[in-house]
Structure 1
Amino acid sequence: MDPFEHHPDEHDDEHDLGLQHDLATMERLGALAPVGAPAATGLAGLADGLDVAKAKRMDRRRALTMIGGGGAAALVLAACKIPVTGGGYAVTPTETAGPYPGDGSNGPDVLSTSGVVRRDIRSSFGSLSGTAAGVPLTIELKVTDVSRGNVVKPGAAVYLWHCNRDGKYSLYSSGVTNQNYLRGVQAADADGNVTFTSIFPAAYDGRWPHIHFEVYESLATAKSVSNKVLTSQMALPKAACDTVYATSGYGASKANLAKTSLATDMVFRDGYSHELATVTGSTSAGYTAKLTIAVP
């Protein structure tokens, strides 16, 4: 049995016991080893924007902390979103979680639902059912630790979420409040890697196509959003978006993409070099998006 997968015919009465229960079950099975838009898309863009200023203030504070808060260099880094460096290594910029995090900070808390630790996030889990349709997308992330010389960070937990091909977020948007798909948690392996099986997200009005994520020190600390060490977003490259949005089912994405750019997006316009994924593949075989996440 794969302890990360939800089996509807096994212990369904335990679906609401949360990540704490998942961890206990995984430990018993030996799975854990010690380690050293939305319906109103315009409103989604506005809500995202309300949190951007806060995220950028956090970036400036981190910049001052990481370089000792001294000299003109501190002022330069604080003035723009240049990823902060520690020992010459870039830290992934902090970004807003947006209005649909599902981590308990704004309503629903998917982290409290048993089964959230999973690789394939296309279907809803726990007491919910339903599957998000779309062009297949495998998301491969490598987590590194800048404070330790940018070495890989095995055991770090990544909570990832994004909209469906209609631009709607499960748990929040009209028509999908009874779904929790396209959300999941994974623990980094010995090489710092986490992998999610998902679908290519839509481009909704006001935002460049993106994927949200939070990083925690471990699965144990991922039980509460207050323990997150980084919140950020992954941007998807235009070439892949153009190809995907020409396929059936993505509706308004092509038109929405044409109305914005990475240079004008409310989150990425002040820099995205450390947030832009490398994407390969095809609409028939599916795509793979890769990004390194460097935590402070």
Structure 2
Amino acid sequence: MKSASSTTATHEAHDHDLGLRHDLRVLARQSQERRRMLGLLTGVGGSLWLPGCGGGGGDSGTSVAASSSSTTTTGTTTSTVNTTTSASATTCIADPTETAGPYPADGSNRANGSVVNVLVASGIVRSNIRSSFGTSTTTAAGVPLELTVSLVNTNAACAALSGYAIYLWHCNAAGQYSLYDLPAENYLRGVQVSDDLGQATFLSIFPGCYSGRYPHIHFEVYRSGSTATQGSNALLTSQMALPREACTAVYAADSTTYSGSTANLSRVTTANDNVFGDNTAAQIAAQTPTLAGGRTTGYTGTIVIGLAL
């Protein structure tokens, strides 16, 4: 399924005081300070990687590479797979456009008679998306998942895209979406601006598997933080597919928090999913993060998102 869809759900709009522009001004100051530090280190022949938001919105000539060791524990057996994902001209591909689904909260649909747009809320620009912000500070339960996204231009030798914004959202462990199924919560949603390496890191939880869909994470990519105010401005709307081996381990380990996920997963694959089902094997591989870690300590992951600009 490649077309956008919308639905009506129970939701009451939440207003916040300062808005996205305030958050972006804070990010700009942080970026300037980070660039100053990088300049000082370059002058003495040093180097330093600093996470956070960055960039002046340009394409750098840097290709992106990530190497990880994926460890999965099932019962008493532990397996480790070493994987290297390289964003080179021969390996990175443009991600396919996918539906934003019924719960994007990007201004493209309504709930309970109101337009749902968390993108204009103060607090949406953040790395840790596990908790709600504003009137609620509830933290979503589940296995921790730290995901580093690398944005690249597939039409420019996979050059890193710095200064681009990515909005990421997904369901909780029970398969529910904030602002729709849970109108009082806005957790598991966040915006970040890519740094000089084209990267942004989100701290979240491993999403559950609800009936009819393969476990997934939604995202939208924007030209800049200032344009990330409504879904119609997105350069790319797509989804990530979670590695099945990790899904199986996480859901089996905590059937209470991830209630119903094991049974739901047993009935769906990327091949018969109504979103991923018509994609090629290469597209599915590109849409699947490389994960390392396990259900006890949590997972860290990397994924390269390609845009044909």
Please classify the TM superposition score into its range, dividing by the shorter chain length. Answer: 0.7 to 0.9
1:250 and 2:264 are equivalent in the alignment: no
Name the SS of the counterpart of 1:197 in structure 2: strand
Q: Is the 8 A contact 1:160 1:212 kept in 2?
A: yes
Equivalent residue number for residue 49 of structure 1: none
Work out the CA distance in 2 between the residues paired with 1:274 and 1:35.
24
Aligned to 2:124: 116
What is the aligned counterpart of 2:298 among 275, 282, 286?
A: 286
Deviations 1:8-59 (A, max 9, x none): xxxxxx93332122223434564665343xxxxxxxxxxxxxxxxxxxxxxx
Letter in 1 for 2:148: E
Which of 91, 99, 102 is the aligned partner of 2:102?
A: 99
Distance 1:136 1:228 in 2: 28
Give 3-state SS (helix, strand or coil) of 2:238's partner: strand
Amino acid at match of 2:132: S
Relative to its length, the structure with more strand (as a share) is 2
Look up the match of 1:238: 244
Distance (whole Å) between structure 1 residues aligned to residue 231 and residue 186 of structure 2: 17
- Determine if contact 2:207/2:215 at 8 Å carries over to the other structure: yes
Amino acid paired to 2:197: D
Residues 1:19 and 2:20 are matched in the alignment: yes
Q: Distance in 2 between matches of 1:88 and 1:213?
A: 21
Q: Please state how far the C-alpha of 1:87 moved relative to its aligned partner.
A: 9.5
- Contact 1:203–1:253 (CA<8 Å) still a contact in 2? yes
CA distance in structure 1 between the aligned counterparts of 2:91 and 2:217, rounded to whole angstroms: 27
Q: Distance in 1 between matches of 2:288 and 2:29?
A: 38
Aligned mate of 1:90, from 89, 93, 112: 93
Is the alpha carbon distance of 1:120 and 1:284 closer, same or farther for their aligned partners in structure 2, counting shifts above 3 Å? same
Aligned partner of 1:190 in structure 2 is: 196
Q: Partner of 2:288 in structure 1?
A: 276
Poorly superposed stretches of 4+, deviation over 4 Å:
28-33, 86-89
Give per-residue Cα distances to partners, 1:40-79, cap 9 Å, x unaligned: xxxxxxxxxxxxxxxxxxxxxxxxxxxxxxxxxxxxxxxx
SS of 1:213's equivalent?
A: strand
**Paired AA for residue 203 in structure 2:** T
Q: Offset of 1:221 from its aligned partner?
A: 1.1
Higher RCO structure (Cα 8 Å, ≥6 apart) = 2
| Structure 1: gaps spanning 5 or more residues | 1-13, 37-85
Tell me: CA distance 1:191–1:27, structure 2 relative to 1, closer, same or farther (3 Å): closer
Q: Distance in 2 between matches of 1:252 and 1:88?
A: 36
Aligned equivalents of 1:284, 1:148: Cα separation in 2:
40
Q: Contact between 1:16 and 1:112, CA under 8 Å: does it hold in 2?
A: no
Q: Which residue of 2 aligns with 1:217?
A: 223
Q: What secondary structure is seen at the aligned counterpart in 1 of 2:109?
A: coil
Rounded to whole Å, the distance in 2 between the matches of 1:194 and 1:27 is 15
The within-5 A match list for 1:67-216 is 90-107=93-110, 108-173=116-181, 176-216=182-222
**Is contact 2:55-2:196 (8 Å) kept?**
no
Letter in 1 for 2:288: L
3-state SS in 2 of match to 1:269: helix
Q: Which deviates more from structure 2 when the two are superposed, residues 214-223 or residues 270-279?
A: 270-279
Corresponding residue number in structure 2 for 1:45 = none
The structural deviation recorded for 1:284 is: 1.4
Verify the 8 A CA contact 1:16 1:126 in the aligned structure 2: no
Q: CA separation in 1, counterparts of 2:147 and 2:92? A: 23
Deviation at 1:217, TM superposition (A): 1.0
Which sits farther off after the overlay, 236-245 or 278-287? Answer: 278-287
TM-score, normalising length: structure 1: 0.74
Q: Which residue number in structure 2 is paired with residue 50 of structure 1?
A: none
The one-letter code matched in structure 2 to 1:238 is R
1:130 to 1:88, Cα distance in 2 relative to 1, 3 A: closer
Percent sequence identity over matched residues?
A: 50
The 8 Å contact of residues 164 and 199 in structure 1, kept in 2 or not, is answered as: yes
Aligned length: 232
Quick one: structure 1 residues 26 and 152, their matched pair in 2 at CA, closer, same or farther if it must change by over 3 Å?
closer
Query: Quick check: 1:34 aligned with 2:40?
Result: no
1 or 2, which has the higher helix percentage? 1
Using the TM superposition, give the Cα deviation of residue 195 of structure 1 relative to its aligned residue in structure 2, in angstroms. Answer: 0.5
Shift of 1:278: 1.4
Q: Secondary structure at the match of 2:293?
A: strand
For 1:20 and 1:150, the matched residues in 2 are separated by 30
Q: What TM-score comes out, normalization by structure 2 length? A: 0.71
Structure 1: distance between partners of 2:128 and 2:230: 22
